[in-house]
Amino acid sequence: MPWPPLDRVPWATLRLRLTAWNTLVVLLMTVASLFAAHFAARATLYDDADAELRAAVQEVVLALRDLSPDIDAVVAEIGRKATSHERRGWFVQLLEERGATLWKSDLCPTEVADFPPGNLDRDENVVQVGPYRYVRLRVVRPGQPTYHVRVGTYTTGLDASLASLLRVLVGVGAVLCLSTPLAGWWLARRATQPVAAMLQTAERLKPSRLADRLPVRGSGDELDTLAVTINRLLDQVAAHVSRQQQFVADAAHELRGPLAAVRSAIEVAISHDRTAESYRDTMTEVLDETCGLSKLANDLLTLTETSDESRPLAAGRVDLAAIARQSVAMFSATCEERGLVIDIDAPEPTPVLGDATQLRQVLGNLIDNAIRFTPSGGRVDVRLRTDAPAAAAVLTVTDTGIGIAAAHLGHVFDRFYKVDSSRKHDEGGRSGGLGLSICRAIIERHRGTIAVSSTHGAGTTMTIRLPSAPPPQTAHAPKPASAPRARDEQSKGVEQPG
């Protein structure tokens, strides 16, 4: 069925979709990274500030332990330390056991001084009060009053640093938001260039331009693999089209001769009055030509059906030895009439999986070919053996006929190939050149092989190898298939190879 033309939507192109997905993924990762960097920086700054506050608290605790119970001396020492750290924004507050303020430094904000101590039973607390952060430590000594020491600092500096970092991160994010689509478009364009080249080549492909192939960059990536695979498919398509064109041309050539002969005979017959005997001779000639045309048409139909892999093969368990004996018996009278000896050596059943009718047609074609090209006094031998290691049945048809020249051996299975110039036979009958092509198509459908060996002037041997059938208990039941179409009996005769 014809495919409708594709309407290319600009926003639906692969390049644009790759760019969009790349931009989305990069931006999401960038936003996540920026947030992670901001929170990591904040955690690091506050952890460092808490460590410094804990160190300062320990200094106050040491002074308290050394100078206690002289509280005035303790306050003087704490005040001195607080004054020395004023440039860092530190403040100190000393509380009694129940939380009442005993002393605080000048920089201690009211918000912190009035902030409830909370759980005083805990040895340490880290508290954030608005823009202030402090560490509270409980100081307990045997026989001495319990005190609480608060050492804190302003966090505005930390927040300013974080704000500066956030501005930098936002700037980086903005640059990435602008550059990511451009970079993604460039990358997508580079990645889809081979695909675009493939599309351009594919659009140029026509039955008249079957030599065009997709470009292969040699990078070894998936696109190269795709191009190579498509090129192999195109090679097969081109070869198939070439074979079909040649087949049609050869068939037309084969049909043209008989049709021209029929037309010429009729035109001559009707050109002027003739005797009844003359008309009878003309009709006999026309009948011979139409029989040849009928046989050629049957052979073409048989070749088409046997070459069609979509048609099911009526494969069943058949005895190749019995088929061979039947075929030899059918040609025994013909051999006797021609003065030939025909012999068969198939001593035991040889089961194979296949269509008995088609296999019988192959054997009949090969034996008929051997008989027609073997002069009187010669012989035709049919031999069947089992190749146990290869699980195959091997059937040979050997004659002592005129043989085939070496130059023609590679073409005897080609359609319409003829070697009449080197293989004259006494009948003078016409050969359509399809017999051996049909034999090969049937044998290949049976997963077998057919080969020819010949010595010009000494005879020819046809060798068929078919897979042996498994034992009956493991053989699968054949799939049902429609009965083959009836054939003219002449279609069972082989054509002269070529």
Low-confidence ranges of the chain (pLDDT < 50): 1-3, 6, 421-431, 474-475, 477-498
CA distance 302 to 484: 10
Which bin fits 263, alpha (ψ -120 to 50), beta or left (φ > 0)? Answer: alpha
- What pLDDT does residue 250 have? 64
Q: Which residue from 104, 94, 108 is spatially nearest to 145, judged by alpha carbons?
A: 94
Cβ count within 10 A of residue 153:
23
Kindly state the DSSP code that residue 489 receives in the 8-state scheme. Answer: G
To the question of pTM greater than 0.95 for the whole model, the response is no
DSSP letter string over 52-101? Answer: HHHHHHHHHHHHHHHHTT-HHHHHHHHHHHHHHTGGGTEEEEEE-TTS-E
CATH number of 313-492: 3.30.565.10
- Owner of token pair 């608290």: 57
The answer to whether the beta carbons of residues 423 and 404 sit under 8 Å apart is: yes
* The pLDDT of residue 426: 43
271: exposed, middle or buried (Cβ count in 10 Å: 0-12, 13-18, 19+):
exposed
Domain ranges for the chain, please list them: 16-162, 222-303, 313-492
pLDDT at 477: 46
- Contact by Cβ (8 Å): 154, 132: yes
What pLDDT does residue 312 have? Answer: 58
Cα(99)–Cα(94) distance, rounded to whole angstroms?
A: 9
pLDDT tens for 285-312 read 888 778 777 776 776 676 666 666 656 5
Q: Which residues contact 335 (CB under 8 A, 6 or more apart)?
A: 341, 342, 371, 380
Residue range 123-149, pLDDT digits in tens: 778 888 888 888 888 888 777 788 888
Residue 396: its H or E element: strand 392-399
Cis preceding linkage at 69, omega within 30:
yes
The pLDDT of residue 354 is 85
Q: Helix, strand, or coil here: 345? A: strand
For the domain bounded by 222-303, which CATH number is listed? 1.10.287.130
Q: Note whether 103 and 93 are within 8 A (CB).
A: yes
User: Angle, nearest 10°, between helix axes 435-445 and 356-372?
Assistant: 150
CATH of 16-162, one of 3.30.450.20, 3.40.50.620, 3.90.850.10, 3.30.420.10: 3.30.450.20
Residues 6+ apart with CB under 8 A from 493: 295, 364, 365, 368, 435
pLDDT one-digit tens code per residue, 419-433: 654 444 444 344 456
* Among 127, 80, 74, residue whose Cα is nearest residue 96: 74
